[in-house]
Structure 1
Amino acid sequence: MFFDAVLTMPAHPQPPASSPPPDEASSGLDLAQTRSLLRVIVEAMPNAVVLVDAAGSIQIANSRALRLFGYQVGELDGLDLDRLLPERFRSGHASARSVFMRHPGTREMGAGRELFGLRKDGVEIPIEVGLDVLRTPPLTFVLASVYDATERREALRTADQATALAQSIIDGAPFAIVATDLDGRILEVSPAATSMLGQARADLIGRKPYSLRRSAHSRAVRTIAFDGKAAPRRADCCREVRKRVDDGDIDQREWTLRKSDGQQLPIDLAISGLRHRDGRLAGFIGIATDISERKRVQAAMRHMAEHDALTGLPNRMLMRDRLSGAIARARRTGTQVGVLLIDLDHFKHVNDSLGHHVGDRLLVVAARRLSQSVRAYDTVARMGGDEFVIVLPDLAARRDAVEIAAKLVEHLSVPMEVDGHALPVSPSIGVCLFPDDGDDADLLIMNADTAMYVAKEAGRRRAVEFTPQMATAASERWALERALRLALEVHSFRIHYQPQVCLRTRRVVGAEALLRWPQDECSYLSPTHFIPVAEQTGLIAAIGEWVMRTACAEIGSIRHQLPPDFRLSVNLSPRQLTLSKLPALVAESLALSGLAAEQLELEITETSLLQDDIVHLIEDLRATGVGIAIDDFGTGFSSLSRVTRLPIDCLKIDRSFVRDIDRDPSQAAVMAAIVAIGHRLGIRTIAEGIETQAQLQATAMQGCGCGQGFWFSRAVPASQLVQTIARIEET
């Protein structure tokens, strides 16, 4: 093995076998001196060296060789070289040594081959051997330089493991990896890359990535899209990527991969440099990730963020963005932009009477009709609830928006078929335009909303154009809202009480608590002026709670001066009926006032009977011991079947049936019918708005039990109630 390493090297010519050996004495040194000199030279060598004669016997081994093979000084002298080789190599080594010694040659120090050595303790070690022929006539020796290759072998093994690990990682990576030279020709690809590109590895190697042929009849073309912008020319793109990578950066962006079948695949591609050891750029490596799912999720999330979940229409955010864009375009082109704000009339009645599931389907049908009634590039958006906004860009004249609004009124007023119900829902529409009615999105929407409320107040089912005067009215409404909030905060409201009188005995049996808002010492603001604003802003709930607590407290403070069967009536707003804490509020107000539960009667409007869960709420309120009265009975949309199923104590007949009762037989007939229902069901009846003696007599003739109105008394403060009751009962 030692000698086999040099058999392939050319040997220098040797003297003919017939030539006489030189005279030993002619060298000037005897054999002992020569050995001594060789030992000094060998010992001085910086590596392990063994001097072997032609028979393979070790003549000299320096200290480094002794340490390498684990021997002491003198233990190797005379031993056969085979002792330093594992047994499995010895026969081959003997043959190689024989050939080498017959045809000795020479070679450079350190140029050898790897093999294994055998230490004295039997441990094999990887070694490298370099051989040199040493002639000391008449003898020929072989000088073997031995190198411990353990570290180099371990380094190679580690490198091989690292290479295998890296290849395993590349092969198993879920993202595509492509290596190219500086010209863009593919040098290597990972399995994920072949799958992503739709090409076999053999078809990819050597090709440029922008034009890859899959077969003679198909072609895969890779293009760069740069987030939707026009793709630059390939040369420009390559120069841009090359510059970034040359600067040591990573070029990372979204690309679009167009595959051979025409499919476009969005990918995230990061390109970095492959470099020589000296740092020079040798090529590129690209790591690509399929981001199709990410794009799908992003698109879905963006759609969810910008669209109404129920109708699929754009929501307020997207509508405002499109409106702002339309305004910007109109500034450049000199056109107009229309904004229509649409509210569905009586939608709440549908929700309350048929349920929210029917109301939701109605909104879907209405959204479809709206979309079908406008141009393809108009925006129909849902603002929330039953409100919609339509943006009409690129209008030439104001009349265009007005005509579209009129058409919408007509289309939406046709009854909508929902779950077997023909629902008569009409729209109230506010119309405004840029630039006449506002110069930004928020102002246009606000002014359209103002016009829409005017349409409702004018009788609904119509479109109304915005005017500057409406802005003044809206400003007054906002001022009224601020004043309402302040009045609630500083307790500016007052409660007056209108007595309720038994028409048979003329005794006062109760009083209705009515809210008053003083403006100065002598005047009050009419509830018809501020109650609608309170309801629109939601302040009615807080005001209603204040009325409940205050009325109970005031009547409780004078309860011992009132008739024993006196009953306080307090109105509940529809908003209060949606509050889960209402029964607790009633119980707390009674407890703090000292009133008994049977001394309090809560009035709810007839339309409130249509609300969801009203039966459960009335039952919860009745459980506290209070009475329930239906206010303005005869004007709402409730069914008699629902009235008969509810624990109701009193029907308050609306003043519209009292106004002409003494002159209009039909009004008297309605009164008689309501009274008959009350008598049959064991429910008390109270007629509201009795202002004349004729009305009093006609109402009493129909059998109505009680009445209230200016004929008896106006509403008075609690401090005047006892005296007012005394006056009524004395007359």
Structure 2
Amino acid sequence: MEKFIKPNSSKGLQKLLGDIAYTLEQAAIVSITDPRGTIQYANEKFEKLSKYPLKELIGANQRIVNSDYHDASFFKEMWATIGSGKTWRGDIRNQAKDGSYYWVDTTIVPFLNDKGKPKPYQYVSIRYDITARKLMEEEIRKNAELYEIITTNASDFIAIIDRDGKFQYLSPSFENLLGYSLDSLYSDTLYSILYKKDRQKVERKIAQFKGFHRKAIGLEYSMLDVKGGLHVMEAKLNEVRGSIDYEDQLLVVMHDVTERVKSEEKIKHLVYNDQLTSLMNRNSFREQLALAFERAKTRKQVFALVHINIDRLRYANDLLGHEAGDYLLSMVGERLKKKTGPESLLARIAGDEFAFIVTGLSDETEIYNYAEEIRLYLEQPIQVGQQTYSLSISCGISMYPEHANQPSELVTKATLALGKVKTRGGSDSEMYEHGTSKMSLERILLENEMRKSIQQQHFYLEYQPKVFLGTGELTGVEVLVRWNHPDLGVIPPMKFIPLAEETKIIVSLGEWILREVCKQAAAEIEAGEFCKFAVNVSTVQMKEEGFADSVLSILEEFQVPANMLELELTESSFMDTEGMKESIQKLRSIGITVAIDDFGTGYSTFSYIKELPADTLKIDMAFVRDILENENSQAIVKAIVTLADTAGLNVVAEGIELNEQAKMLYNLGCREGQGYYFGRPTTLLEAKKANYNSSEINKKM
């Protein structure tokens, strides 16, 4: 003080102290506490910043503004300092009355007494609000931490290189990606970690930044990690601007697109390849066929297209399951690859369809024989688990330039030839013949007319009698659908039934048949008669959701008892999904009987008979036709009858045409039969007249 006032001038000292106090009041937060921390004085700035009124501050402990931010050791050190008479300086975070926080730069000065051992009798605290500075420091700290997190973990990789490719800066993420330490990379160049085939390309791009070409450019290259793995990088190269330290250097921002590139390659593979067989798919084959077409046209060569279809593959799926069906498809693919060679254009173009191109042969007969050889090879038995399965294969063949001048036309002609094979039942090869397209138009016409004929009542029913072989008594009739078109005439079932199943017209046709049968059954009841009607049901119908409920609904509509109806199903219906078996059981549970039609030619083994949810087995006419001279047929019929008796199933023999056949079947244990011997399909009235007594049968035998 002596520097500012004259000695013995108390008035000057008082004025000076007043000025200092006023200045502190205006500039700082001032408080005075006793040795225990009780506030004795607080200025307006303290009141304003803490949001406590002076009357609440005076007499309160300094802890009133404690925020619990600092731990106990912080305050212990502070009290130890000021308790020893030393001044303490530090930053403290306090809490205002409204719960908000504020930071103060704090200086605490202890005032000591003069008696004995000096001890503080009060503390004067001078504080400055540094909340804004602290928030800025916290923001900077967070940003720095965030930058560290981003650069370490971000998918982008940032580097600054000089014109020679030497690294000047690397984001920490490089270390995670490549496994190299950053220090080792700083001593190297970008080119040293590039995949060899990309180095020259990248060097050329970097050279473009010399002279006047300074626009950002994009490029893609592969980098090698410490283990030799490749990482495909998508990079943007630009010149560093606005920096003194990195002037005339290049900023490289990279993104690891390895997974994207792999996905693109996978998608490309999916687009152009069949996943089950690894053969080309339809899209890829179409492109390759167009190229082959152009080559043949330029070189004036002959080549052929072979279109293959697996006949009735769904039956294999029904019998063996879809996994086995997939295995059969893959085996067809493998066999085709083996027979056509590794360089052949071979594809799976649909679920059960394949196609390949034949080159090097020019003669139509040679090409046909080659395709037929492959077809027969594909039909050889395939081992599936514990059993073997033989596929039926159909082939359609077309030739360039004999049959077509465009790829699409070549495909159409091969498909038409294939369709011709299918109409014959499949399992054959066919070379396209001019005029086949007319046959395809006939098929389309037939389909359209079939749909209309259901509505216009062009279908009608015939009935074939079934008799008990021991007495000749009529046991029922089998219902057979016929089609008499007003313009096309009578169309045989073997021509329209497969088409109806393929197009699902069989669903609506089958419903019409069932309604007509129930209508006839209701008439029988009204006339006091009883006749059991056996109705053929396609697997296609059985697969329709709600089929069983539909049958029950029609029976209820016409008030027909369930025991007047029998449904004849193919063996494949019993080998299908659990849902179909449940439908069959549901129908049987109300009294409808179920027969397995054409038994012995399908997929069941004799040992499986006991497990079938059926009431009757109908022995296929193939065994009846030669039963008089074929001992194998006799043995098979005897085995079926024996096992059926064991399982409690009835047996009906189909296709009986001779009394000798009827007699032998009866002697082998078969109790029911049907065929031309007892009556051809006719009206119900005529069918019911086929009632032979046992003596008449024996006479005819």
TM over 0.5: yes
Q: Distance in 1 between matches of 2:199 and 2:532?
A: 78
Percent of aligned pairs sharing the same letter: 25
Deviation at 1:571, TM superposition (A): 0.6
Whether the aligned pair in 1 keeps the contact of 2:532 and 2:565 (CA below 8 Å) is yes
Q: Distance in 2 between matches of 1:70 and 1:646?
A: 99
- Structure of larger gyration radius: 1
The one-letter code sitting in structure 2 at the alignment partner of 1:631 is: D
Paired position in structure 2 for 1:533:
499
Match of 1:234 among 181, 187, 205: 205
Paired position in structure 2 for 1:215:
none
Paired position in structure 2 for 1:288:
254
Whether the aligned pair in 1 keeps the contact of 2:567 and 2:593 (CA below 8 Å) is yes
Whether the aligned pair in 2 keeps the contact of 1:175 and 1:193 (CA below 8 Å) is no
Q: Residues 541 and 397 from structure 1, CA distance in 2 versus in 1: closer, same or farther, beyond 3 angstroms?
A: same
Paired position in structure 2 for 1:467:
433
Paired position in structure 2 for 1:192:
173
Which string of whole-angstrom CA distances, capped at 9 and with x for unpartnered residues, describes residues 629-649 of structure 1?
A: 333345545433333554644
Paired position in structure 1 for 2:102:
none
Whether the aligned pair in 2 keeps the contact of 1:657 and 1:668 (CA below 8 Å) is no
Matched positions, count: 586
The one-letter code sitting in structure 1 at the alignment partner of 2:557 is: L
Q: 2:328 matched to 1:362?
A: yes
Q: 2:158 matched to 1:178?
A: yes
Q: Distance in 2 between matches of 1:674 and 1:456?
A: 31
Classify the secondary structure of the residue corresponding to 1:268: strand
- Stretches of structure 1 that go unaligned for 5 or more consecutive residues are 1-56, 72-86, 90-114, 127-149, 213-218, 246-250
Paired position in structure 1 for 2:44:
none
The one-letter code sitting in structure 1 at the alignment partner of 2:152 is: G
Q: Distance in 2 between matches of 1:170 and 1:612?
A: 55
Classify the secondary structure of the residue corresponding to 1:468: coil
Classify the secondary structure of the residue corresponding to 1:556: helix
Q: Distance in 1 between matches of 2:577 and 2:106?
A: 94
- Stretches of structure 2 that go unaligned for 5 or more consecutive residues are 1-15, 31-85, 89-104, 110-123, 697-701
Deviation at 1:462, TM superposition (A): 4.5
Q: Residues 173 and 356 from structure 1, CA distance in 2 versus in 1: closer, same or farther, beyond 3 angstroms?
A: closer
1:549-698 → structure 2 map (5 Å cutoff): 549-561=515-527, 563-564=529-530, 566-579=531-544, 581-605=546-570, 611=576, 618-633=584-599, 635-636=601-602, 638-646=604-612, 648-655=614-621, 665-666=628-629, 670=633, 674=637, 678=641, 681=645, 684=650, 686-689=652-655, 695-696=658-659
Q: Which moved more, 1:620-629 or 1:610-619?
A: 610-619
The one-letter code sitting in structure 2 at the alignment partner of 1:178 is: I
Which string of whole-angstrom CA distances, capped at 9 and with x for unpartnered residues, describes residues 558-604 of structure 1?
A: 4322633x101101123234445333232222111211111111112
Q: 2:398 matched to 1:432?
A: yes
Q: Distance in 2 between matches of 1:240 and 1:297?
A: 39
Whether the aligned pair in 2 keeps the contact of 1:562 and 1:722 (CA below 8 Å) is no
Q: Residues 421 and 606 from structure 1, CA distance in 2 versus in 1: closer, same or farther, beyond 3 angstroms?
A: closer
Q: Residues 64 and 553 from structure 1, CA distance in 2 versus in 1: closer, same or farther, beyond 3 angstroms?
A: farther
Q: Residues 585 and 205 from structure 1, CA distance in 2 versus in 1: closer, same or farther, beyond 3 angstroms?
A: same
1:436-447 → structure 2 map (5 Å cutoff): 436-438=402-404, 443-447=409-413
Q: Residues 205 and 314 from structure 1, CA distance in 2 versus in 1: closer, same or farther, beyond 3 angstroms?
A: same
Deviation at 1:231, TM superposition (A): 8.1
Q: Distance in 1 between matches of 2:199 and 2:523?
A: 80
Cα RMSD after superposing both structures: 5.1
Q: Distance in 1 between matches of 2:340 and 2:203?
A: 39
1:166-315 → structure 2 map (5 Å cutoff): 167-180=147-160, 183=163, 186-196=167-177, 200-202=181-183, 204-205=185-186, 209=190, 211-212=191-192, 220=194, 233-234=204-205, 243-245=214-216, 251-252=217-218, 254-258=220-224, 263-271=229-237, 274-276=240-242, 283-304=249-270, 306-315=272-281
Q: Residues 696 and 652 from structure 1, CA distance in 2 versus in 1: closer, same or farther, beyond 3 angstroms?
A: farther
Whether the aligned pair in 2 keeps the contact of 1:220 and 1:261 (CA below 8 Å) is no
Deviation at 1:267, TM superposition (A): 1.6
Tell me the TM-score normalized by structure 2.
0.67
Whether the aligned pair in 2 keeps the contact of 1:561 and 1:722 (CA below 8 Å) is no
Deviation at 1:519, TM superposition (A): 0.9
Q: Distance in 2 between matches of 1:611 and 1:238?
A: 70
Paired position in structure 1 for 2:462:
496
Which string of whole-angstrom CA distances, capped at 9 and with x for unpartnered residues, describes residues 249-287 of structure 1?
A: xx5554323568764321232445643289x99654333
The one-letter code sitting in structure 1 at the alignment partner of 2:553 is: E
Whether the aligned pair in 1 keeps the contact of 2:346 and 2:357 (CA below 8 Å) is no
Paired position in structure 1 for 2:144:
164
Which string of whole-angstrom CA distances, capped at 9 and with x for unpartnered residues, describes residues 631-689 of structure 1?
A: 3345545433333554644444545566678xxx3279957974896588265555545
Match of 2:381 among 405, 415, 438: 415
Whether the aligned pair in 2 keeps the contact of 1:519 and 1:525 (CA below 8 Å) is yes
Paired position in structure 2 for 1:140:
none
Q: Distance in 1 between matches of 2:340 and 2:373?
A: 9
Classify the secondary structure of the residue corresponding to 1:408: helix
Q: Residues 371 and 197 from structure 1, CA distance in 2 versus in 1: closer, same or farther, beyond 3 angstroms?
A: same
1:24-103 → structure 2 map (5 Å cutoff): none
Whether the aligned pair in 1 keeps the contact of 2:475 and 2:532 (CA below 8 Å) is yes
Deviation at 1:350, TM superposition (A): 4.9
Which string of whole-angstrom CA distances, capped at 9 and with x for unpartnered residues, describes residues 74-122 of structure 1?
A: xxxxxxxxxxxxx989xxxxxxxxxxxxxxxxxxxxxxxxx99999x96
Match of 2:447 among 456, 481, 485: 481
Q: Distance in 1 between matches of 2:262 and 2:247?
A: 37
Q: Distance in 2 between matches of 1:265 and 1:675?
A: 72
Deviation at 1:290, TM superposition (A): 2.1
Q: Residues 519 and 240 from structure 1, CA distance in 2 versus in 1: closer, same or farther, beyond 3 angstroms?
A: farther
Q: Distance in 1 between matches of 2:603 and 2:211?
A: 73
Classify the secondary structure of the residue corresponding to 1:467: coil
